[in-house]
Structure 1
Amino acid sequence: MHKIFSAAVAAVALLAVLLPAPAHAARDERVASAAATQAAALPAPVPCEGCWRPALNTSWQWQLDSPPTKPFLDVQMYDIDGFEARDGVVVKALKAAKPGRGVVCYISAGSYENWRPDARSFPAAVLGKKLDGWPGERWLDIRQYKGPLGKIMEARLDMCKKAGFDAVEPDLIDGYVNDTGFPLTGADQLAYNAWLANEAHERGMSIALKNDVTQIPQLLPYYDFALNEECWANDECTTAQNGRYGYDQFVKAGKAVFQVEYELPVGEFCARSNAQNFNSLLKNWDLDAKRVPCRGK
């Protein structure tokens, strides 16, 4: 399932790690300097020639509680659970029903889930603390992506590719601002997230940056579009709100933003989303078939 961690909290945690909190100008300068240093250490982005990429204005459905069934919605993109659709049947049906439709593969890239078919593949050394409120899940030591953890994630990406997905949505790729049980840093998260993006591109799939709002400036060159939960409720959607990062940076780069609110009435966020050229929905917490789009279909 989806997980939600406020980037406002992330920003505070990142600042606490990076600086002793002097005046605002000096603090902002140090944050920018640390971010530039981290980004400079990353590998070059792997190009993804010929990959499917959503247009800035793309109608979509995000349905994770169960695979969608006919009749499908007349939307341009579906984002569904990768394991539930790993046989490729639903993916093929979605594409046949609307040629050109993109289908996105949801996987968790930051947590162990004890109900997944590959659960026994995770060595004890990569398993961290339990996720609060999510039984059966534990944080992962993303620093081990060059070892056994990387092999597991590569297999998950291969699964998505084999099933015919066009893109991947890796969840929980902001563990460094959470109590994982590991001393993860922003640099650790950047390295892992850049690696995930490059691995997806190597397989001919585009990739969405899920949440991790504070690292948008460094990760923008690697990610093809973005997906966010509750940035309007948390007042963290735009650079104007945050000062250094925001989803408007994706739009400015010609990359689509998909955004969901759960609690706010549509009257409190849709106009703002439309003004930013975001593709926003009102969804239930369990991400079932119900949806209220802010624009279009």
Structure 2
Amino acid sequence: TSILFSCAAFDCIDAWWKPTPDTSYQIQLSGTLDTSYDVDMYDIDMFDTPNETIAELQQRGIKVICYFSAGTYEDWRSDKDRYSSDIIGAPLPEWEGESWVDIRSTKLREILVDRMQHETARDLGGPHAARTGKGL
């Protein structure tokens, strides 16, 4: 998965929180979020975590970042109807209901910008990119 976006869509990259090598963290992308861990940061699913849970973690001084897939279509997501058949590619055999998408598509870019703006509005940590090995 790769996230490509214009920095102009966001106010200031320099203000983003940057974890250090000793930052403790909990990654939980499915199920009911267990907020009992004494860590510096949580990495959560953007769609499935309620605003109240995010607020609770932030009130405890915990940084919250979120996960969403930029390079795939997931047929269970709330914005699934925005994906047209011309940008949906081959299915991922290891993930039922998930397919690759054409990351060159301007339609996809609009969806991803909206997702990132949603993330920013929820006061989450901002997007992070995965290394695809394809120069993307």
TM range (shorter): 0.7 to 0.9
Q: Aligned equivalents of 1:128 and 1:155: distance in 2?
A: 21
Q: Indicate the residue corresponding to 1:130 in structure 2.
A: 91
CA contact (8 A) 1:67 1:80 kept: no
Structure 1 residues 222-260: Cα deviation after superposition (integer angstroms, max 9, x where no partner): xxxxxxxxxxxxxxxxxxxxxxxxxxxxxxxxxxxxxxx
Change (3 A) 1:116 1:69: same
Q: Aligned equivalents of 2:38 and 2:14: distance in 1?
A: 27
Structure with more of its chain in helix, by fraction: 1
Q: Aligned equivalents of 2:39 and 2:74: distance in 1?
A: 30
CA contact (8 A) 2:116 2:126 kept: no
Structure 1 residues 202-232: Cα deviation after superposition (integer angstroms, max 9, x where no partner): xxxxx3x3243x46xx78xxxxxxxxxxxxx
Q: Aligned equivalents of 2:32 and 2:43: distance in 1?
A: 10
Structure 1: runs of 5+ lacking an equivalent:
4-42, 169-206, 220-297
Shift of the alpha carbon at 1:167? 2.8
Q: Of the candidates 67, 72, 75, which is equivalent to residue 111 of structure 1?
A: 72
Shift of the alpha carbon at 1:67? 4.1
Q: Which is higher, the Rg of structure 1 or of structure 2?
A: 1
CA contact (8 A) 1:105 1:167 kept: yes
Q: Indicate the residue corresponding to 1:18 in structure 2.
A: none
Structure 1 residues 183-214: Cα deviation after superposition (integer angstroms, max 9, x where no partner): xxxxxxxxxxxxxxxxxxxxxxxx3x3243x4
Change (3 A) 1:67 1:163: farther
Q: Of the candidates 39, 51, 55, which is equivalent to residue 92 of structure 1?
A: 55
Shift of the alpha carbon at 1:45? 7.1
Alignment of 1:193-212 (within 5 A): 207=128, 209-212=129-132
Work out whether 1:65 is the aligned partner of 2:30. yes
Q: Aligned equivalents of 1:157 and 1:104: distance in 2?
A: 11
Shift of the alpha carbon at 1:69? 3.6
After TM superposition, the score normalised by the length of structure 1 is 0.40
Q: Aligned equivalents of 1:74 and 1:59: distance in 2?
A: 8
Query: What's the % identity of the aligned pairs?
Result: 31
Q: Which amino acid aligns with 2:68?
A: I
CA contact (8 A) 1:54 1:102 kept: no
Q: Of the candidates 164, 174, 181, which is equivalent to residue 123 of structure 2?
A: 164
Change (3 A) 1:44 1:73: closer
Change (3 A) 1:94 1:143: same
After TM superposition, the score normalised by the length of structure 2 is 0.83
Alignment of 1:25-64 (within 5 A): 48-64=13-29
CA contact (8 A) 1:80 1:104 kept: yes
Q: Aligned equivalents of 1:124 and 1:155: distance in 2?
A: 19
Equivalent pairs counted in the alignment come to 130
Shift of the alpha carbon at 1:76? 0.7
Structure 1 residues 50-105: Cα deviation after superposition (integer angstroms, max 9, x where no partner): 111101211111101124244x21111100000012x42111111112x1x22111
Shift of the alpha carbon at 1:44? 9.3
Alignment of 1:1-297 (within 5 A): 48-70=13-35, 72-85=36-49, 87-97=50-60, 99=61, 101-144=62-105, 147-168=106-127, 207=128, 209-212=129-132, 214=133
Which has the higher relative contact order, 1 or 2, with Cα contacts under 8 A spaced 6 or more apart?
Answer: 2
Q: Aligned equivalents of 1:130 and 1:89: distance in 2?
A: 34
